[in-house]
A and B are shown apart, each in its own frame.
Chain A
Amino acid sequence: MLEALIQGILLGGYYAVLAAGLSLMFGVVRFINLAHGDMAVLGAMIALWLVQDVGLGVGLAIALTLPAMAALGWLMQRMIFERALRGGFLIPILTTIGLGAALQNGMFGLFGSETKSLGAHIGGLSWASWELPGSIFLGQLPVYMFLTAIVVLGTLHVVLTRTPFGRAVRATATDADAAALCGIDARRVHRGAAAIAVALAGLAGIFLALRAQVTPFAGPMLLIFAFEAVVIGGIGSLRGTLIGGIALGVAQALGGLISPQFSILAGHVVFLAVLAWRMSQSAAAERGGWRSAWAALTLKRQITRGKS
């Protein structure tokens, strides 16, 4: 039980990195990138290609993949997303669904359909573990990944709160017109945010490839996990995203205790429960709080009963 809890928390770091990019794009650019999961898979595939076909070490491959993904994010914002955003509400959704399909099939064509993993290239690290008192085994790789996630999200938090670029990002997200009146070029900010978001997706994909396997068609499932973590944690806050990711990871790990098939489902159940709670909270707030909402409901019931 405790071991599953710890594993769930460690898994949460991965989900938080996956979700942070999606949340950043939605919070700053007001753009829902439905190809976010496919971008994560693309990051994994590029790293795998660099390791398996070019013959680089895993560390160097990761160090090359992340800037490449950032550049890709910048380019996609510049070439595709900006134009899609001008088309109203529906166009970005259709565009990114199409982009996701193109990425999936493009990767299928280039890299084949077999499952791949970076796990075979990191030697003993994939199974090495520490034994904690109480015979709890703690995998070293999950711990390193969790620490990396914390450092990455922490750095991003510092960038957003302490640097001129971060202030420009927050100003644009809060009020784009007022930001423009301060001399901020919203397009530049959006491109920077997209670069960070896609690099984060790439990092999440690499995490997945390190701890498990990837296939070209894994993206949509990752997108669902990212959405779930964002909804559980709340949009627009990195701390919330981290909490959401951990909640999702813990739910999956504890669900896996009941039965392996229940693992993913437990994550979905927690997501739906949080969503239902949030929606009922806002519904109650509209009616002046829970007590009056309940009173209104019973009153309505009495009236309908009186009629019949």
Chain B
Amino acid sequence: MTEAKVALALSGAEGRHGQLQAIKPLMLTIAENEVVALIGANGAGKTTLMRMIAGLHPFAAGALHLFGRDVTAMSAHERVKAGIALSPEGRRLFGDMTVRENLMIAAENGRRGDWTIATACDAFPQITPLLDRPAGGLSGGQRQAVAIARALVVNPSVLLLDEVSLGLSPAAVDGVYQSLAALRGKMTMVVVEQDLTRAMNFAGRLICMAEGVLELDGNPAVLTREQITNAYFGIHKTTEASHA
């Protein structure tokens, strides 16, 4: 059975914002410990898809299975207990609380496991001196590190990271990706990334979305830049001639 190895399985998943069909019926399976980069232009539906998997956005149709278990009907906090963690777009830290309190909240309400505030601080050493600072006063890179650490201490089996490098300095992005590289093989990761080179270097699998549809899905080592660019802008082979 291959079923046991599949971490996430979306079948016929559909997401709406009112009348807008943000995610068109979509099939996607992600294997255990696979590292997937999700790319696409603004409005492609990346964030909506992440929020749907995390349980913050309702499924208009279709189903989500986590390690073979149907979690479609679960709310966001139940999916955390089932093993899905999302570090959301905009980090969404609790700004009036300290970094330590932010991490404690996740540790207290998440799953038990190897990830604790101490091990998260080992993985993201830049957090340790910040523990007693209010989260609202941190720089972009620090906030992102805390947000990822907060997602880690719930001990997920599937880690979703939305807009990892958005608004960060190149140095901060390097730091975050170094820490993330250490997680490879320990959990399934889906990373939304705007920087194509970084996405291709980091992930073992590249998925490109455009207008709510999966345009491209493959190994970044095999895919060509042109294929990716075409998928990014939603340019199909049939219309390629008119765009040339």
User: When A174-B95, A186-B77 are in contact, do A181 and B104 touch as well, CB less than 8 Å?
Assistant: no
Q: Decide yes or no whether A58 CB sits under 8 A from chain B.
A: no
Q: A175 — which chain B residues lie within 8 A by C-beta?
A: 92, 94
Q: Decide yes or no whether A306 CB sits under 8 A from chain B.
A: no
Inter-chain CA distance A274–B16, complex, in Å, is: 45
User: When A170-B97, A182-B105, A183-B77 are in contact, do A177 and B88 touch as well, CB less than 8 Å?
Assistant: yes
Residue of B nearest to A177 (CB): B56
Q: Decide yes or no whether B85 CB sits under 8 A from chain A.
A: yes
Give the total of B residues in contact with A, Cβ under 8 Å.
Answer: 28
Q: B106 — which chain A residues lie within 8 A by C-beta?
A: 182-183
Q: Chain B's nearest CB lies how many Å from the CB of A158? A: 14
User: When A164-B108, A170-B94, A175-B92 are in contact, do A180 and B55 touch as well, CB less than 8 Å?
Assistant: yes
User: When A167-B108, A184-B109 are in contact, do A178 and B77 touch as well, CB less than 8 Å?
Assistant: no
Most-contacted residue by chain A among B93, B105, B106, B151 (CB, 10 A): B105
Q: Decide yes or no whether B127 CB sits under 8 A from chain A.
A: no
Bitwise interface map of B from 13 to 38 toward A, beta carbon under 8 Å scored 1, else 0: 00000000000000000000000000
Interface residue SS majority, chain A: helix
Most-contacted residue by chain B among A178, A179, A184 (CB, 10 A): A178
Q: Which residues of A in the span 163-210 have a Cβ within 8 Å of any Cβ on B?
A: 164, 167-168, 170-171, 174-175, 177-186
Q: B119 — which chain A residues lie within 8 A by C-beta?
A: none
Residue of B nearest to A163 (CB): B108
Residue of A nearest to B86 (CB): A181
Q: A179 — which chain B residues lie within 8 A by C-beta?
A: 77, 94, 105
Residue of B nearest to A165 (CB): B108
What are 17 A-B interface contacts by the 8 Å CB criterion?
Answer: A164-B104, A174-B96, A174-B97, A177-B76, A177-B92, A179-B94, A180-B76, A180-B80, A181-B54, A181-B80, A181-B85, A181-B151, A182-B109, A183-B77, A183-B109, A184-B77, A184-B109
Residues of A participating in the B interface, judged by any CB pair closer than 8 Å: 164, 167-168, 170-171, 174-175, 177-186
